[in-house]
Structure 1
C-alpha cells in the first residue's frame, strides 16, 4: 500500500489516523478553599473556572473544630489554595461575622505542612492566594525585638552589633508573616498575598473579576507569577513570594518550626529540642517563646508522668546554667506581659515552684509600681494576675503625696492588688475632667466592676452632681457594662435624665437603663419621662429611641 499510494495520500492518512485517536483528557485541577470570612473571592474563581477542568473543595466544615485535620484524613490534595479571612499578622485568620465561629490558626497550617498525618494536602500546590491583610508583610512581627536588643547588650554586645544580631536572627527564624508563609508552603512556586492592608471581600472579588475576564483561566494553576494579576491588585499592595526550597539559606528555620509542629514527634522529643534552644543564645529562646509556651501549657499531670517526658523535664530542670540565663532574661524584660510569660514558662519547665513564681511576680509588680509612668496595659495585667486575690494586701504601703506613685494609674494598679485606698481613688477618678484618668478608671472597672450597692449609689450620686458635658458622659459610659438593679441608683439616673440640658448625657443614661433591671421604675412612668423630657429628636439610631422602642414593645 505504501508503495502504491502517492506521498500526499500518505500524509492525509497519517493526519486522519491522528484525528481518530482519542485525546488524553487534561487532569482536573483541585481548587481548595478555606473560607473563614466572606466567600466573595471563592465564588469569583468558581464563576470563571470551568467545571470540566476545576473541582472546588471547601475545607471548612461549619460547626466542626477539626475541619483541617478532617481534610487531611480524607486525603484531599490541592492544586490551588484560596484562603479568605482577616489576618491578625501572625497567629490566625478569622471572621468579622458574628455568626461565624470558625477560624484558622497559623499553627494548624504549620502542623498540616510538617506532619506525616497530612502528606498530600499541600504537596501538589502550584499556587496559594492569601486574601488577608499583611499575609506577605516582610517586617518582623516579634513584639520582643527591643527586648532582645537590650538582652544582647546586657550580655556585652555593643548596641549596633546587638541590632545587627537581631536582624540576622529574625531573618534566620522567619519572624515575618512572609517568612512564615514561605515556611508553611514549602516548594510552592507562587504565593500571592498582601504586604499591608488587603481589600475587603467585595472589592477583592470585583478586582479578581476584572482580571479573570481579561485573562480567563489560562494563568491559573500554572505555577508562574502573573504580572497581570499583580497589576490589577497593585493599588492594594499585592505581593508574591515563593515557598522555601531545600536550597534556601534559611531552611533551618523551617526545620526548627517543624520540630514543634510535626505531630509525629513525641512530646519528649519536642522537650529535648526546647532544651537545645535554651542552651543557645538567650535571644533565640525569646524568638521561640510562643512555640515553647504552647508546648508547655499542654503538659498536664498525666503527660508529665510519662517516663520519657519526665526524663526530658528533669534534664531541663537540672540545667542550672540555662536556668540562670533564662531567669536573668525574664527579670530584665521591660514589657511586663513578656516577663509574666517568661516566668510562667520557667514554672512549667521546673525552674520555679508555684511559691517562687509568685515571688517573681511580686518582685515584678513592685518594680512596676516604682515606675514613674504606667498605663492601661499595666492595670489590666495587675488585675489579671490577681484575679483570685492571691496578692491582696501585698502592696498596701502608704503613698507619699505628690510622688510619682500618687496618681490614678498607680492607684488603679494598687486597687487591682487589693488596696482599698487604691480602689476609692480609682472610682473617684470617674468624676474627673481629665479624660486620661477616666480611661484608667474604665479599664479598672472592666476587671473589677462595682457590685456593692452602697458603692454604686455613691458613684451615681457623684456623676449626677457633675456639670453637664463630656466628662459627665464619659463617667456615665463607665457604668455601661454594669447591670444596675439598685432602686435608688436607678431613680437618680432617671431624675438626671429629666433635668439635664444635654442630649449626649441623656443618650448615655439610656444606654445604662436599657441593660438595667427597670422593674422598680415602672414602665409607664419611665416611658413618659423619656418621651416628654428628651432634649432632641435626633435622626439616626440612638440609645434613647432604642429604649423607648423596648418599653413600647409588649
Structure 2
C-alpha cells in the first residue's frame, strides 16, 4: 500500500506538471494595511509563503492617497489584514507621533460604496482587524444613552424607549461591530477584538504559534477558524459576517452609502439629508458626523448645482425641522452634540452667525454654573472661542467658582481670570494645575518675560505630581530663552525627583538648546541623573543624551 501511495503521488505530480500554467490555481492575494507595527503582516508572510499567496501592502509611505492608488491599480484582495490602533469609532492610527499614515473609517466606507473602486473588496473571503475594539458590540459614540434620555423626555416609557433605541443603534452602526459589518458587506468572516487587542509583537507571536500548529488550513476558506479563535481566546478575538441584502438592517447600509458613494451628486446627498430631517430626530443625531463631513466638503460652487441650491433653500425654510433640531440641541446634556446641532443650524440657514454665537454663549454660561465643570469644559470654551468671537460673553462673573470657571472665562478673554489661571498652575493642587494646563494648550504664553516668570515659579514648586504636570504644560511651548533653559537645567540638578528630571528632559528635547553648550548639558544629564529615573521616564532622558552625543 505504501508503494502504491507513492506511485499515486508521483502520477499526480506528473499530471500537474503537464498542465498549462493557466490551469494552475492562482495565488491568493493577501492585502495588508500596516498603519502601526508590521508584526501581524510578517507572521502571515513567513508562514503562508509566496507560492500560494501574493502579498500587497496597500499603504504607500508619504503618499496621502494610497488607498485610491490601490483602487486605480485594480488590486483585488482575497484576504485583508489591518494592523493599527483603533479609536473605537472613526480612525485607525499609529502609535508613533512622527507617522503620517492614518486610515479614517469614512475612507473604508467610501471605498466600500463607490464604483470607483469596484475590485478591492469584491472577492474578500476574510478580514483581520488587529486593533482594540474593532468588533466591540457596544455603542461607541454615547449617542444612544443621550437618545434614551431624549425619548423619555418625549414621553416614551422606558421599555418603549429601549426598543426604539435598539432599533436605531443597530440600524446606524452605533457599534464598531455593526459599522464593520456595513463596510465589509458579503464577507463571510471578519475577525476583530471585542475589547483590548494584544500589542503587535504579542499578536505576531500568537500567530506564529497558530501557523506552526495549523498551517493555512483555515485561511481563505470563508469560514470562521475555530483554531485561530482558540489561539486568541485570552484576547477577546471574535468573528462576524458582513451584511447581506437579506439582513434586516441592510437598508442602513444603503443609507450609509447615500453619504459615502462619491458617484452621487452633491444635490442628491443634500436631498437625502433633507429626508433624514423629516424622520425622528434620532436619525439625524446618529448621522451627525456624516452630515458634518458633507457640510465641510461644500464650497461656493455648490450653488451652481440647481438641485443642491434648491434643496438648501427648502431646508432653510423648514421651520418644523429647525424647531426639532434646536429643541434637541438645547435639551441634550452632551455639549459636543449641542455644538454639532447648533453648527448644523447655522450652516443650513436656521441661525444667523450672531444667533449662533448667542446659543454657544448660553451653553457656556450653563456649563460654567456647574459645580463639576472641569478640563472638558475648559477645552470646549477655548476651542469654541478660537477666533475670539465670544470674547466677553462670560463677563460679570469674575471671582465666581473655582479654577475651572476662571479658566473658562480666561478662554473668553478675561485678563483677570487668565492671571488667576496661571497662578493655579503654580499651586499645590494637581487638579488645578491640570485645569491651567488645559487652558495653556489653547492659549500659550507668548511674552518672553512672562514665560521666564512662569518657569521661575514652576522651578520653586515642591517636587511631586503637580510640578511634573506644570512642567508638561511649559513643555508645550517652544523654549529658546537662555534664562529659561538655565533655570530648567538647575532644576534638573537639584530636584530629588526622577519624574521631574524626565519632565525637564522632555522640554529640553524639543527646545532650541543653542544657549546651552551641548557637551556641558550632556555631562550634567549623565552625572546628576537620579538612579530611579532609569525606570518609567528613562527613555526621554536617554533620547536626549543620545541626541547630544551624536553632535
Q: Which position in structure 1 is the counterpart of 2:362? A: 363
Q: How do 1:411-490 and structure 2 match up within 5 A? A: 411-486=406-481
The answer to whether the aligner puts 1:216 opposite 2:211 as a matched pair is no
For 1:307 and 1:507, how far apart are their aligned partners in 2?
A: 60
For 2:226 and 2:542, how far apart are their aligned partners in 1?
A: 53
Q: How do 1:303-322 and structure 2 match up within 5 A? A: 303-322=302-321
For 1:547 and 1:60, how far apart are their aligned partners in 2?
A: 31
Q: By how many angstroms is 1:73 displaced?
A: 2.3
For 1:256 and 1:100, how far apart are their aligned partners in 2?
A: 33
Distance verdict in 2 for CA 1:247–1:487, change over 3 Å: closer
SS at match of 1:479: helix
Q: Which position in structure 2 is the counterpart of 1:45? A: 44
TM-score (norm 1): 0.87
Q: Is the 8 A contact 2:140 2:174 kept in 1?
A: yes
SS at match of 2:81: strand
Q: How do 1:209-288 and structure 2 match up within 5 A? A: 209-288=208-287
For 2:407 and 2:521, how far apart are their aligned partners in 1?
A: 36
Residue-pair matches, total: 534
SS at match of 2:89: coil
SS at match of 1:374: coil
SS at match of 2:475: coil
Q: By how many angstroms is 1:174 displaced?
A: 2.0
TM-score (norm 2): 0.88
Based on CA coordinates, which of the two structures has the bigger radius of gyration? 1
Q: Which position in structure 1 is the counterpart of 2:345? A: 346
Distance verdict in 2 for CA 1:484–1:157, change over 3 Å: same
Q: By how many angstroms is 1:32 displaced?
A: 1.9
Distance verdict in 2 for CA 1:316–1:452, change over 3 Å: same
Q: By how many angstroms is 1:42 displaced?
A: 2.2
For 2:108 and 2:295, how far apart are their aligned partners in 1?
A: 20
SS at match of 2:54: strand
For 2:229 and 2:410, how far apart are their aligned partners in 1?
A: 54
Q: CA RMSD in A?
A: 3.1
For 2:218 and 2:525, how far apart are their aligned partners in 1?
A: 63
Structure with greater helix share of residues = 2
Q: Which position in structure 2 is the counterpart of 1:324? A: 323
Q: Is the 8 A contact 2:32 2:82 kept in 1?
A: yes
Q: Is the 8 A contact 1:87 1:93 kept in 2?
A: yes
For 1:225 and 1:496, how far apart are their aligned partners in 2?
A: 58
Q: Which runs of 5+ in 2 are unaligned?
A: 1-10
**Structure 1 range deviating more: 190-199 or 539-548:** 539-548
The answer to whether the aligner puts 1:75 opposite 2:74 as a matched pair is yes
For 1:191 and 1:358, how far apart are their aligned partners in 2?
A: 45
The answer to whether the aligner puts 1:408 opposite 2:403 as a matched pair is yes
Distance verdict in 2 for CA 1:387–1:54, change over 3 Å: same
SS at match of 1:209: helix
Q: By how many angstroms is 1:75 displaced?
A: 2.2
Q: Is the 8 A contact 2:128 2:191 kept in 1?
A: yes
For 1:382 and 1:311, how far apart are their aligned partners in 2?
A: 36
Q: Which runs of 5+ in 1 are unaligned?
A: 1-14
For 1:35 and 1:528, how far apart are their aligned partners in 2?
A: 40
SS at match of 2:297: coil
For 1:506 and 1:35, how far apart are their aligned partners in 2?
A: 35
Distance verdict in 2 for CA 1:358–1:187, change over 3 Å: same
Q: How do 1:2-401 and structure 2 match up within 5 A? A: 22=19, 24-399=23-398
Q: By how many angstroms is 1:47 displaced?
A: 2.7
Distance verdict in 2 for CA 1:529–1:410, change over 3 Å: same
Q: Is the 8 A contact 2:398 2:406 kept in 1?
A: no
Distance verdict in 2 for CA 1:447–1:531, change over 3 Å: same
Q: Which position in structure 2 is the counterpart of 1:12? A: none
Distance verdict in 2 for CA 1:487–1:82, change over 3 Å: closer
For 1:197 and 1:82, how far apart are their aligned partners in 2?
A: 17
